[in-house]
Amino acid sequence: MVSIGSVVALKPAEVSKSRLGTLPVPLRRRLARCMALDTLAALAAATDQLVVVSDDQTIADRLRRAGIDALVVAEPDPGGMNEALRLGDQLLLDHGYTRVLAAVGDLPAITAEAVGRLLDSSTRLPRAFVADRSGYGTTMLIAPSGELDPRFQGASAQAHRMSGAVPVEDPDPRLTRDVDAVEDLDAVIALGVGPHTAGLIGTDRIGDYAAVTIAEPAPGPSGDYVVITDAGRRLPLPASVLDVEIRFLRPGQRLHAVAAGGRLLSAWL
């Protein structure tokens, strides 16, 4: 019986996605975290075991709060993405999984169904990879466990091809659209993104960053608040857009937020 594990190497949000530098730092970090959660949720649903290799001390708790079942392990020393993926590959081999899917952590449009179709179509290939939309990089690599041989980063599509991996033909666009720069966002938004990333999206683009201050709880038992933006505008803050880590807010407390069309889409500490 074929059992399939998946592995993703994640940097802490504080140091990831530097090429999204045109976004305000809090929004860039939030976007990186949301894209990772959507990617991991799809992989966890499509494979028998997800391994996350990361030195982010908060990731295990964040995954638990998001309902994502994963084994979290620290990055090896020496580190780097490929060393981290090799560690995950070995762990999955040691636990008896027969095939491994390695993926980048910024595929917010992927779905479990798209991953499942990829796994079904690649069963006859010893090692296979999905090139990104440019054909230069790699978004996913599939191999028998213990034989992953990851060569991500840089001209990784060519590196994987030279290592003997076979490119997947006509992959689902959801599997090829990673986000390296702000310009990549339009394409993934058009495809449709997962629920975590969607919380940062207005009608058809990422919302605007805003720092807000809690003014007071809204009247009634809703759990909503009223906030004041730095420009002095009062806005309702629905409880439904608050980060799951937030339990109680007090007047004067500062939050990061994303707004679009005169309403708040998401707010976090």
Confidence (pLDDT) at 17: 61
Q: What percent of the chain has pLDDT over 90?
A: 86
Confidence (pLDDT) at 93: 97
Q: How many CB atoms lie within 10 A of CB 210?
A: 21
pLDDT tens for residues 30-75?
999 999 999 999 999 999 999 999 999 899 999 999 999 999 999 9
Residue 250 pLDDT level (bands cut at 50, 70, 90) = very high
Confidence (pLDDT) at 1: 73
CATH numeric code, 208-268:
2.40.50.140
Would you list the DSSP string of 30-44?
Answer: HHHHHHHHHHHHHHH
pLDDT exceeds 80 at position 112: yes
Mean pLDDT of all residues belonging to the chain? 94
Q: pTM for the complete prediction?
A: 0.95
- Domain range list for the chain: 4-198, 208-268
Residue 86 pLDDT level (bands cut at 50, 70, 90) = very high
Tell me what the mean pLDDT of segment 105-125 comes to: 95
pLDDT tens for residues 208-242?
999 999 999 998 888 999 999 999 999 999 999 99
Which tops the pLDDT comparison, 79 or 71?
Answer: 71
The string over 2-19, giving b where at least 16 C-beta atoms fall within 10 Å of a residue's C-beta and e elsewhere, is eebbbbbbbbebeebbee
Nearest residue to 110 via CA among 101, 98, 123, 99: 101
pLDDT tens for residues 169-184?
999 999 999 998 888 9
CA atoms of 5 and 98, how far apart (whole Å) = 8
Give the dihedral sign, CA 4/33/31/226: positive
Amino acid found at 184: D
Confidence (pLDDT) at 14: 64
Tell me what the mean pLDDT of segment 62-89 comes to: 94
Which tops the pLDDT comparison, 254 or 245?
Answer: 254
Q: What percent of the chain has pLDDT over 70?
A: 97
Nearest residue to 36 via CA among 241, 196, 153: 196
Residue 18 pLDDT level (bands cut at 50, 70, 90) = low
Amino acid found at 26: P
Residues in the chain: 269
CA atoms of 210 and 146, how far apart (whole Å) = 46
Are 262 and 235 in contact by the 8 Å Cβ rule? The answer is: yes
**How many angstroms from the chain centroid is the CA of residue 132?**
16
Write down the residue that tokens 């060519």 correspond to: 158
pLDDT exceeds 80 at position 16: no
Token pair in block for residue 97: 């999984």
- What is the fold, at CATH topology level, of the domain defined by 4-198? Spore Coat Polysaccharide Biosynthesis Protein SpsA; Chain A (3.90.550)
pLDDT exceeds 70 at position 256: yes
pLDDT exceeds 80 at position 13: no
Confidence (pLDDT) at 200: 97
